[in-house]
Structure 1
Amino acid sequence: MSEEITVAELFAGVGGFRLGLDGYHSEEHPEFDMPASGPFKTIWANQWEPPGTKTRQFAARCYEAHFGEGSVVVEDINKVLDEVDEGKRDIPSVRMVVGGFPCQDYSVARPLSQAGGIEGKKGVLWWDIYRFLQIQISKSPENAKLCLFENVDRLLKSPASQRGRDFAIILSCLATLGYSVEWQVINSGAYGFPQRRKRIYIYAERSADWNLEGRLFDGVIARAFPIARQEDVFEVAIPADPYEATMHFNEQRLKRSPFRDRGVMVGNTALTCDVEEAYAGRLGCLADVLVPNSEVPEEFFVPEEQLSRWEYLKGAKREKRVNKKTGFEYMYSEGSMAYPDLTENPSRTILTGEGGTSPSRFKHIIRCEDGRMRRLVPDELDQLQCFPKGWTDTGMTDGHRAFCMGNALVTGIPYRIGREIAKELE
């Protein structure tokens, strides 16, 4: 048995990383049983949904319903870390830090060489991850040896005015703390999951003895989610100071980011390439998670009088529109979407606005065997993210359940990555 890997889960939501890594077992709810991917044990978690009102903390309440009262710190992470710095509270030492953080403007206002070190924009959650890692490492060099983060794939391309700058800042931050890093954009639908959800996963290991070229096609993420070897591999220099990345990365303003969908950084050098999935297993589909009509509440069936609106929103358009504020007239166009959604394919990406009865271009709508049209119920949304059926059925509204799943990750992805991490550490 491998040595236990203690974990801190930041921006925990309803526990996607914890479920994927630790697994789940409850005598009270055996229907939720899921295997662990390795010797992982989450011992600290944080979740805070702004604005800071009790009614907005529905994700944290779901987390506690499954993992126990007090299993998650329900406070603004910035405030928590301020209190740690002031000596007013402590955070336990952990070997691994995980979290899915928002894609924001990560620019740096102060270089490392100045007193106080890196200074990022207040409220940008990457800097709270950076502070958390610093706190862990300051307690012991054995802390926070491993990291696993998730984000939207546009992180590699942002901002539009300086493509790749934000990701370069993150890589530079990790390099200053002694991490080697690999990343990969994973489309879950291409690897057998029932939803198409394209997200970047970032794995970092401190003081790692990696071979840069060898790791590109044989890292833990690439072993969990195989890719075909690519000929076009690009080298990218990562600035030693995140401030330099802010000011000077991609100064040429290239239209395409230097970062591709797969990459590895050792020291301050990265190799990167495009991704071609190499998966030969069964592909999942939306039909895999659909519940019987007898389990669907009546309000999820779409009234006949609303169907034309749904069809219009899903259809192709080219029409004149007027900006309500300025009166400016412009031509608006967009392509068509499948109407209804094709249940024999992986579903489209779940968004936070999936809930509610109003017609929408982005919500899912399916045709039942009896010809009626309906929206997806929350139990189906849970399963599209590979949570157990009914995971978010903890007293929150259907809209909040949909919001939680729109913010969640496909739990099977950290599960597969966790298995490879555990194998490598053995």
Structure 2
Amino acid sequence: MPTSATLFTGGGGADIGLEMAGFQSLWGIERDEKIAAAAQLNLPESQIINACVSRIDPRLLEPVDLLWMSPPCQQYSQARRGDLEDHQDKDAGVFCLPYIEALCPKWIILENVPGYVKATSFKEILGCLQRLNYFFHWKVLNAADYGVPQNRNRLILWAVREGLNLPFFPMPQRRIGWYEAISYNLAALPDSKLADWQIKRLEEIR
């Protein structure tokens, strides 16, 4: 079974997806203690390391076939106001470079907001991949085109070691709404009840 690991793991969502795709999650690194604890609950068979990505020597970690990287995106989010100071983690993506160099995985995936293409760290990651003879391509995809009932644009980068086939991005699927997404489960749900504030609001409308 191919193996995987994640940088900036969060709650382990990417790891769960990779396991559903047939990978065995070996480890992940998450700085926030509570979020790391949640990831460990979600991934009981994996080693979740509660530390900054920059503080771990990747040469001491178990090699994996696929490395998933999701650097902090706050600096490049469209929701971020322009009058704010630069986010402290805006260049955290550069800490991915030592992992790429030390682990040299078969496959690398980077996920981030579309604005991350402007990040200096993104350019440095691309330069690192070129130096190490990786083939790569990237594209902004909308999760709504792949079965998620929500418009959510994300930058996705695929990279593979020299000699391997570069995966294609999947073709968009028919979009679905929230009702269709949960319709299979509606019959088993209990009858809903209005909250007090909803009842009050209805009375006001009447």
Cα deviation code 1:210-266 (max 9, x no counterpart) = 6xxxxxxxx5242x2x2xxxxxxxxxxxxxxxxxxxxxxxxxxxxxxxxxxxxxxxx
SS at match of 1:43: strand
SS at match of 1:72: strand
Unmatched segments (≥5 aa) in structure 2: 76-87
Q: Write the distance in 2 (CA, Å) between the matches of 1:180 and 1:78.
A: 25
Q: Write the distance in 2 (CA, Å) between the matches of 1:299 and 1:221.
A: 51
Q: Where does residue 83 of structure 2 map in the other structure?
A: none
How far 1:296 sits from its partner (Å)?
7.5
Q: Does 1:71 align with 2:47?
A: yes
Residue 163 of structure 2, aligned match among 197, 208, 219: 208
How far 1:302 sits from its partner (Å)?
9.6
Q: Where does residue 98 of structure 2 map in the other structure?
A: 131
Matches within 5 A, 1:41-60: 41-49=24-32, 57-60=33-36
Q: Where does residue 85 of structure 2 map in the other structure?
A: none
SS at match of 1:200: strand
Verify the 8 A CA contact 1:17 1:99 in the aligned structure 2. Answer: no
Verify the 8 A CA contact 2:72 2:90 in the aligned structure 1. Answer: no
Instruction: Indicate the structure (1 or 2) with the bigger Cα radius of gyration.
Output: 1
Give the partner amino acid of 1:220. P
Residue 108 of structure 2, aligned match among 147, 151, 162: 147
Q: Where does residue 96 of structure 1 map in the other structure?
A: 66
Q: Write the distance in 1 (CA, Å) between the matches of 2:111 and 2:199.
A: 35
Q: Write the distance in 1 (CA, Å) between the matches of 2:74 and 2:177.
A: 32
How far 1:286 sits from its partner (Å)?
2.3
Residues 301 and 172 (structure 1 numbering): CA distance in 2 closer, same or farther, change over 3 Å? Answer: farther
Verify the 8 A CA contact 2:27 2:46 in the aligned structure 1. Answer: no
Residues 166 and 46 (structure 1 numbering): CA distance in 2 closer, same or farther, change over 3 Å? Answer: closer
Give the partner amino acid of 2:3. T
Verify the 8 A CA contact 1:104 1:124 in the aligned structure 2. Answer: no
TM-score (ref. length: structure 2): 0.74
- Number of residues paired by the alignment? 187
Give the partner amino acid of 2:167. V
How far 1:197 sits from its partner (Å)?
0.4
Q: Write the distance in 2 (CA, Å) between the matches of 1:296 and 1:75.
A: 44
SS at match of 2:64: coil
Cα deviation code 1:309-352 (max 9, x no counterpart) = xxxxxxxxxxxxxxxxxxxxxxxxxxxxxxxxxxxxxxxxxxxx
Residues 122 and 10 (structure 1 numbering): CA distance in 2 closer, same or farther, change over 3 Å? Answer: closer
Higher helix proportion, which one?
2
SS at match of 1:208: coil
Superposition RMSD in Å:
3.4
Verify the 8 A CA contact 2:3 2:64 in the aligned structure 1. Answer: yes
SS at match of 1:46: strand
Q: Write the distance in 2 (CA, Å) between the matches of 1:73 and 1:58.
A: 12
Q: Write the distance in 2 (CA, Å) between the matches of 1:371 and 1:194.
A: 32
Q: Write the distance in 1 (CA, Å) between the matches of 2:99 and 2:136.
A: 18
